[in-house]
Amino acid sequence: MSNFDVIVLGSGPGGYVTAIRASQLGFKTAIIEKENLGGVCLNWGCIPTKALLKSAQVFEYLKHAGDYGLSAENVDKDFDAVVKRSRSVADGMSKGVQFLMKKNKIEVLNGYGTLQAGKKVSVKDADGKETEYSADHIIIATGARSRELPSLPQDGKKIIGYREAMTLKEQPKKMVVVGSGAIGIEFAYFYNAMGTEVTVVEYLPSIVPVEDEDISKQLERSLKKVGIKIKTSAEVTSVDTSGEGVKATVKTAKGEEILEADIVLSAVGIKTNIENIGLENVGISTDRDKILVNSYYQTNIPGYYAIGDVTPGQALAHVASAEGILCVEKIADMHVEPLDYGNIPGCTYCTPEIASVGLTEKQAKEKGLDIKVGKFPFSASGKAKAAGTPDGFVKVIFDAKYGEWLGCHMIGAGVTDMIAEAVVARKLETTGHEILKAVHPHPTMSEAVMEAVAAAYDEVIHL
């Protein structure tokens, strides 16, 4: 039996980052992966979807070349080539993780890992051979997969999840997307931009329901403007796949209607990968599909830890990475502070993009806070107008008494690259007046942050 200081089960953005940090701290480290290094994020999630979305964005630019005084004739897309580019980007990133494993002297154990009592893990390789390994610290980072609804059983052909949505052999003419979170909206935008007729069905009253209400309304307007049909307060109660396509029965306040499509994409959330990994062998506690951990990701059993989607925090790649780093630094007896889950940015990469952090206006009011709210539209931004991307705005929320930056919500071109300003400022407990006095470069999209803050304090210049 091989002995390690740290074994990480799963190599997604939580797992591989954890393993690298553990190695940097001097721990003899191994990582277990049953599929491809990088996990869902690098291979089937964050990275390949962004490659698809970039192709869609370029295609839209070409179709609207005339708006920029340019001429582009016979513009068309090669759907298969778009998919192949996405897969190539993912493969390159996975190879990059392989390089990082070698560089940091981390042993990669290929196979299916199962936890055992006594700080051990058994790994079954592709040939069925089982090998047992031990470690002082075992970190579970097995992530999650597409959740299935009883009324929407995925068959991988007509009713699909995000994996199949990234590698379809043929572009569907009609698609129904069930769920309007980040995954659903991103795919709705991509397929619509490629020329598919898309309908989004959302159970709750507004799309991207975790976002500020103003963001949800603006996104709905923007998506409808490009031809995406949206049905909110709607539920798919059944699907019929017996014919050539799919017939989805949708229940709304107005009654039932049948939507016909080639494919239904189920994007109704995720299911954690905590089954059949040996939690019961060890006695690790779970609750509502999550592994219970403390602020430093220790489970109820000493020597076993869990990070990422399998724990109760936000199911985001950057959260998993941060949790893993914090976990191993605590193991190394470094001084670490628990993660502030109230200061985690969320991003959706459709067009226009969405980025947000902190409280929504509604949440701030529900807390009984006296607030100042400022908005600045990109239609008043010189950079946005010059770029031909005037849709959207920046919205900021401050505590009226102390100036604390309670929340920041953005919708527009490139805002996923802008939200970090608010995250860092909130981490440093920066006030609204300090943001106002921090000189922002002109002309940039980021000026809109300063202008939105100025609007909150009745000092806005360009609106």
- Which among 240, 268, 296 is the end of a domain? 268
Domain match, 195 and 327 both = no
Burial of 401 (0-12, 13-18, 19+ CB in 10 A): exposed
* Cβ-contact 327, 307 below 8 angstroms: yes
Quick: pLDDT tens for 134-161. 999 999 999 999 898 888 999 999 999 9
Based on the fold, state whether residues 39 and 138 are members of the same structural domain: yes
Answer yes or no: do 35 and 125 share one domain: yes
Name the residue with tokens 């010189």: 382
For residue 101, being part of any structural domain is answered with: yes
Do residues 172 and 231 both lie within one domain? yes
Q: Is the pLDDT of residue 2 over 80?
A: no
Give how far Cα 244 sits from Cα of 236, 240, 263, 373, 445, Å.
Answer: 19, 10, 10, 51, 47
Is 461 a domain residue? no
What pLDDT is stored for residue 42 in this prediction? 87
Structural domain of 433:
352-456
d(CA 451, CA 441): 12
pLDDT of residue 39: 86
Same domain? For 86 and 227 the reply is: no
How much of the chain, in percent, has pLDDT values that exceed 70?
100
Q: Rounded to an integer, what distance in angstroms lies between the CA atom of residue 182 and that of residue 362? A: 20
Residue 346 lies in a domain: no
Question: Do 106 and 248 belong to one domain?
Answer: no
Do 100 and 220 fall within a single domain? no
- Domain annotation covers residue 293: yes
Mean pLDDT in residue range 184-199: 97
Summarised one tens digit per residue, pLDDT across range 279-322 is 999 999 999 999 999 999 999 999 999 999 999 999 999 999 99
Lowest mean pLDDT among 36-40, 343-347, 350-354, 363-367: 36-40
User: Any residues with CB less than 8 A from the CB of 100 and at least 6 apart, and which?
Assistant: 16, 20
Indicate left, alpha or beta for 87 from its phi (over 0: left) and psi (-120 to 50: alpha). alpha
Q: Are residues 278 and 138 in the same domain?
A: yes
442 is catalytic: yes
16 and 130 share a domain? yes
Residue 133 and residue 18 share a domain:
yes
The answer to whether position 347 is within a domain reads: no
Average pLDDT of the chain, as a whole number: 95
| Mean pLDDT for the stretch of residues 100-109 | 96
- Identify the domain boundary among 213, 234, 268: 268
> In this structure, what CATH number is given to the domain that contains residue 174?
3.50.50.60
- Whole-number percent of the chain with pLDDT over 90: 93
Cα separation of the two ends of the chain:
69
> What's the pLDDT at 44?
85
| Same domain (yes/no): 257, 323 | no
Residue 1 has pLDDT above 70, yes or no: no
Q: How many domains are contained in the chain?
A: 3
Contacts 24+ apart (CB under 8 A), 102-105: 104/19, 104/20, 104/23, 104/24, 104/29, 105/23, 105/29
Q: Kindly state whether residues 136 and 7 are assigned to the same domain.
A: yes
Instruction: Find out whether 122 and 19 touch, Cβ atoms under 8 Å.
Output: no
Determine the distance from the C-alpha atom of residue 260 to the mean position of all C-alpha atoms in its chain, rounded to a whole number.
29
Between CA 67 and CA 146 the distance in angstroms is: 39
pLDDT, tens digit, 9 for 90 and up, residues 120-132: 999 999 999 999 9
Residue 197: alpha-carbon gap to chain centroid: 24
CATH of the domain at 383: 3.30.390.30
Query: Do 413 and 445 form a contact (C-beta atoms < 8 A)?
Result: yes
Residue 400 domain flag: yes
- pLDDT tens, 214-263? 999 999 999 999 999 999 999 999 999 998 999 999 999 889 999 999 99
Q: Token digits for 412?
A: 């527009």
HSE, side-chain direction, 13 A CA sphere, residue 324:
34
For 64: left if phi > 0, alpha if psi spans -120 to 50, otherwise beta; the answer is: alpha
Q: Which amino acid is at 71?
A: S
The answer on pLDDT for 352 being more than 80 is yes
Are the C-beta atoms of residues 321 and 333 closer than 8 Å to each other? no
Inside any domain, residue 154: no
Q: Is 354 left (phi over 0), alpha (psi -120 to 50) or beta?
A: beta
Strands 371-377 and 393-399: antiparallel
Which of 335, 433, 440, 442 is catalytic? The answer is: 442
Is residue 435 exposed (0-12), middle (13-18) or buried (19+ Cβ within 10 Å)? buried
- Say if 326 falls within a structural domain: yes
Q: Which of 290, 308, 341 is the last residue of a domain?
A: 341
